[in-house]
Copies of this chain bind each other. A is one copy, B any other.
């Protein structure tokens, strides 16, 4: 194999060593994050910053190894959204119903509006004046999506998954995720250079929602029957292999249909959550996802240019100012959402705080914005800081609100 390595364009031993380092450092810093009461995903982002180009330079960025990491990271985010789709119980979603929907919609509209307004009409350090361009849409979009993964993890860590507040939060976070994915389609279309007309936005919305609805309707009917056949196969591990092949295939189909890869992956997860083999699929897909998703978070973290966060440089001060404003918008925008369903008796501050942590989807928006050049590295850095701040702030705040009668930090 040594000989093979020398022949190909890629130095395979070196690439595998980088991969091993990424996985180990991601898990170690994830652990460190958990030990200090924070979600593991934060540690993985920090691992990316440490291992990235402005840190130790371990994450391959250029040439074929860079492409490889990029594709593995895409696989990671695809499997992550697939997992989130798997965890989405459509019936539960309909049951928590009105309160979750109201919380989700307000929690998307308010932060988006505030973020868009700030970027479009108020002076900010990047330009010294308002900037009514597609960048404003991206800035607004990055503020919308609550991380269902982070929220669920925090609530479960606190032993509070069965409270009414938790049900509303999880329901809202899931709807929020779907809304986020729709916004992602629009934003992807914008990034691809589609002109922002009302008709265009509606069309993109229609394609995104239509693909999701059509895929889920057709899929929920056909796919469980298909998997009842597949499970009768004798070869080993047919379920995870077919499940992942299904997610890959539906993702490609979504992209071809003009939607986003991860919408296909999410739809694949929702569809497979209706199969009789759901438990086995989730059980066997998780370890596979656990290998790839850290690569995504590390590669996102690796995009951060540390020098932008240096408070002694004027440019970095700009980034920090923007991050501060976005952080306030992000927190206030979601807290307000806690009061969006006055007809349901619940502790509204708890719901609002539960919606605060941002995650995957916001980072994906920011990543697209950075790669297409719509967002500058400085704004990207600010968004990453905003995501980190919201994710940092929620767990201890929730813990304090729930009091110390629960299962504690673990």
Q: Does A242 contact B (CB under 8 A)?
A: yes
Q: Does A67 contact B (CB under 8 A)?
A: yes
Residue in B17, B68, B78, B242 whose beta carbon sits within 8 Å of that of A249 in the complex: B17
Q: A249-B20, A259-B2 are in contact. Are A70 and B233 (CB under 8 A)?
A: no
Asked if B288 contacts A12 (CB within 8 A), the reply is no
Smallest CB gap from A247: residue in B: B20
Asked if A9 contacts B241 (CB within 8 A), the reply is no
Residue in B70, B260, B291 whose beta carbon sits within 8 Å of that of A244 in the complex: B291
Q: A19-B248, A30-B235, A248-B17 are in contact. Are A368 and B3 (CB under 8 A)?
A: yes
Q: Distance in Å from the Cβ of A243 to the closest Cβ of chain B?
A: 10
Give the contact-size bracket for chain A. Answer: 35 or more
Q: Does A214 contact B (CB under 8 A)?
A: no
Q: Does A92 contact B (CB under 8 A)?
A: no
Q: Distance in Å from the Cβ of A158 to the closest Cβ of chain B?
A: 14
Instruction: Specify the main secondary structure of chain A where it touches its partner.
Output: helix
Residue in B1, B248, B258 whose beta carbon sits within 8 Å of that of A2 in the complex: B258
Chain B residues contacting A23 (CB-CB under 8 Å) are 241-242, 244-245, 248
Mark A252-275 against chain B: 1 for CB-CB distance below 8 A, else 0.
Answer: 100110111110000000000000
A288 to B244, CA, bound (A): 11
Chain B residues contacting A260 (CB-CB under 8 Å) are 1-2
Within 8 A of B (CB), among A155-195: 188-189, 191-192
Interface core residue of A10, A189, A258 (most chain B CB under 10 Å): A10
Q: Distance in Å from the Cβ of A11 to the closest Cβ of chain B?
A: 9
Q: Distance in Å from the Cβ of A373 to the closest Cβ of chain B?
A: 10
Asked if A252 contacts B192 (CB within 8 A), the reply is no
Q: Does A4 contact B (CB under 8 A)?
A: yes
Asked if B291 contacts A1 (CB within 8 A), the reply is no
Mark A363-379 against chain B: 1 for CB-CB distance below 8 A, else 0.
Answer: 01001100110000000
Asked if B368 contacts A24 (CB within 8 A), the reply is no
Q: Distance in Å from the Cβ of A83 to the closest Cβ of chain B?
A: 11
Q: Does A8 contact B (CB under 8 A)?
A: yes
In the complex, 17 of the A-B residue pairs with CB atoms within 8 angstroms, ordered by the A residue number, are A1-B77, A4-B371, A7-B371, A7-B372, A12-B261, A16-B248, A16-B249, A16-B261, A20-B246, A20-B249, A24-B249, A27-B238, A31-B234, A31-B235, A34-B234, A237-B286, A240-B290
